[in-house]
Structure 1
Amino acid sequence: MREAAQQLLSKGSPLQRSSGRAAQAMRDINPPPAATTQQTPHSARGEAPNPASHPAEFAQDILERMGIRIDLQANLDRAIDLGTLRQPSPTPPLPEGAQFIRGSYSNHAGTRHYKLYVPASYHGQAMPLLVMLHGCTQNPDDFAAGTQMNQLAEEMECLVVYPEQNAQANHSKCWNWFNAIDQQRGQGEPSIIAGIAQQIIEEYPVNERQVYVAGLSAGGAMAVIVGTLYPELFAAVGVHSGLPFASAQDLPSALTAMKRGVKSAAKAGNDAQPIIVFHGDSDTTVHPVNGEQVMKQRLHHHRNLRRPRVQSGEVPNGYSYTQTTHTRPDGSPVGEHWVVHGAGHAWSGGSALGTYTDAKGPDASREMLRFFRTVS
């Protein structure tokens, strides 16, 4: 909820955007009034706030018209106080022989930079490729440090590429999963992300049967979209704290989906592309019902699945969790749904070196890579 709310504040009205007026940083969205002036809120005067001069009130007004009763500014202030938007720690040193290479890809939809991790174990042999999509306010270095996916790439011998959203495309660096154009094959950000994967495949001897996409929050929602639109490219999808395919068409519907899920998830995906989903059941940013709906959306193709296997566990000195596994009659995996009890909006089992992580949960990075291996 916080991520999409920030989007409302940063984007402003269409008129404001077209005028070229720069969006203010989050800490400046509601500056205090001058000491000599007593302002009366627009809502108290029965007026709609001006989105250009009062972005915070404008966003609050939209939320209230949607029936969402939250104190937006208090929630944003609390997020800052909790440090969830802290700056990431410095990038840890690379193992000898490893590379973390910066590159870029361009097509008709635009240009995005990325960072590619090449493990020290790479000596020209074919390797799997994992595409990792960061969440809002993050970047490749932050996401790599928090998920520790580069360390696992050394252990499991795979390439990892981190596409980077830029502030020009989205002020908070969120992937634009809620835009209609970014839910279409050959269009928008999905075409760029798929293009980055294809570029890596052309430059390195990637095992093309072992190309995967995963992401967190807005990145998780975009991973669902990219996997759905390009099933011939991605063999499986990993989603952490994300949303179903086409769960929103604009910012108001995005806020609703994040808070309540969607009434009826679009039928999407195919029966050949397995999926693994992680979600904390105390997530107040993206409601955990979204994790259930991602699984339901993917499973609708299957009519003869085995009875789901449900297992419970607990991380030592950490959270308990429930893992539900769906398989075909022959035992091959279709999907896994991990509900982490007590966890919020953070990468489960992640490192404090990155933002939006919680080390008390099961290791989502390791479990995703293990799952991807089982479906190849």
Structure 2
Amino acid sequence: MIDATMTKRMEEATRLTRAGRLHEAMALLQGGVPEARREGAPNRACRGGNTFDGTWQVNDKEDTVTKPASQAPPSAGAFKAGSFSNRVGTRDYKLYIPSGYHGQALPLVVMLHGCTQNPDDFAAGTDMNRLAEEQLCCVLYPAQPTTANNSKCWNWFKAEDQQREGGEPEILTGMTRMIIDTYGLDTTRVYVAGLSAGAAMATTLAMTYPDLFAAVGVHSGLPHGVAKSLPDALGAMQGGTGPLGGGNKAKGAGWASDVPAIIFHGDRDTTVHPSNADRVAAQYTTSRQTGATVEKGKVANGHGYTCTTYHNAKSEPHLEQWRVHGAGHAWSGGNTKGSYTDPKGPDATKEMLRFFFQHRQA
């Protein structure tokens, strides 16, 4: 369930905004638009160049992620810490390299954590490293420091961080290209996903760098370009009361992408209103899409879900939208070892990887 402190903070920020006391509202939000607290299966499946400008380093510290003992043969991948800098700024990161990597051109998944989280927490909660070990891909977890945002949120709501060749998108794509170049990864199979503020930044990357990312995963996120300030962000999060947040204005804001997208959102999310999932989908809807197919299901002893799939002219899945019934603001099917997870939902990590690996850059 949603943390009472977070709810009170949101209510107070709303009251201050409506009273015209924007500086106080922004100060409250800059202190954190908190995510939901931890919430609690397998499910049925719903069916360029590498140049970069910057410097980087890999720290000596290295963690390992080991398969459960029940899985044979036992093996461990490496979880390396590093740092990347370019003209815009510096960000630390963690990189998971599966034990099956021997220099071959593997896919890369970029994972953007939510507010208050960090790479280790997000990796634990999504269980992405375990699946990356099984399915052979590398996983990059950039880290947002408190010096950039007090609550470690990616600044998706700032105009300077919504553009190509500038702000956080330039840092994140520079880091991504550096990892691709360093490890010789497959430039046609680069994907990005995120939760909440990380999901909003993931969709910003898909909008601004469609030549880099072959598909995007948006979990409990918001559309690109619907906020230019913290009050705008609060309005969009509440369901579209901001100047660009209402109805289908997300698409009318001038942003659309042909990047294939998979979207997850709980229909009981009180932090980011569930209507934002439709607005995100609208930015990825193209005139070339064919009719939708709908599948309904339920996780054993867990949540029900509705998955709507749109196909392109070649009958390939281009957009999947998962509505998780009864779920709040948490990673669906996640591991309770990490924060903001709901193990009762369909496995978002598994479904995102399945969807990602169906797509590559031309």
Same fold (TM over 0.5): yes
Given that residues 148 and 365 in structure 1 are in contact (C-alpha distance below 8 angstroms), is that contact kept between their aligned partners in structure 2? yes
SS in 2 for 1:325: strand
Instruction: Provide, for residues 249-298 of structure 1, a one-character-per-residue CA deviation record: whole Å limited to 9, x for no partner.
Output: 00001000000131211232332x10000000000000010011000111
The code of the aligned residue for 1:171 comes to N
TM-score (norm 2): 0.80
Displacement, 1:64?
A: 3.5
Matches within 5 A, 1:1-376: 59=13, 61-65=15-19, 84=38, 94-95=65-66, 96-261=75-240, 262-263=245-246, 264-265=249-250, 266-271=253-258, 273-299=259-285, 302-376=286-360
Structure 1 Cα separation of the partners of residues 308 and 228 of structure 2: 30
Displacement, 1:93?
A: 5.4
Structure 2 Cα separation of the partners of residues 292 and 129 of structure 1: 27
Instruction: Provide, for residues 212-256 of structure 1, a one-character-per-residue CA deviation record: whole Å limited to 9, x for no partner.
Output: 000000000000001111111111110000000111000001000
Distance 1:216 1:118, change over 3 A: same
Richer in helix (by share):
1
**Count of residues in Structure 1 that have an aligned counterpart in Structure 2:** 310
Structure 2 Cα separation of the partners of residues 107 and 138 of structure 1: 23
Unaligned runs of 5+ in 1: 10-55, 68-72, 86-90
Given that residues 267 and 297 in structure 1 are in contact (C-alpha distance below 8 angstroms), is that contact kept between their aligned partners in structure 2? no
Identity %: 53
Structure 2 Cα separation of the partners of residues 327 and 223 of structure 1: 22
Displacement, 1:62?
A: 2.1
Displacement, 1:104?
A: 0.9
Unaligned runs of 5+ in 2: 22-27, 40-61, 67-74
Structure 2 Cα separation of the partners of residues 126 and 141 of structure 1: 25
TM-score (norm 1): 0.77
Higher relative contact order (CA 8 A, sep 6+): 2
SS in 2 for 1:324: strand
The code of the aligned residue for 1:268 comes to W
> Which structure's CA Rg is the greater one?
1
Computed over aligned residues only, the root mean square deviation of the Cα atoms, in angstroms, reads 2.8
The code of the aligned residue for 1:367 comes to E
Structure 2 Cα separation of the partners of residues 240 and 115 of structure 1: 20
Which residue of structure 2 aligns with residue 46 of structure 1? Answer: none
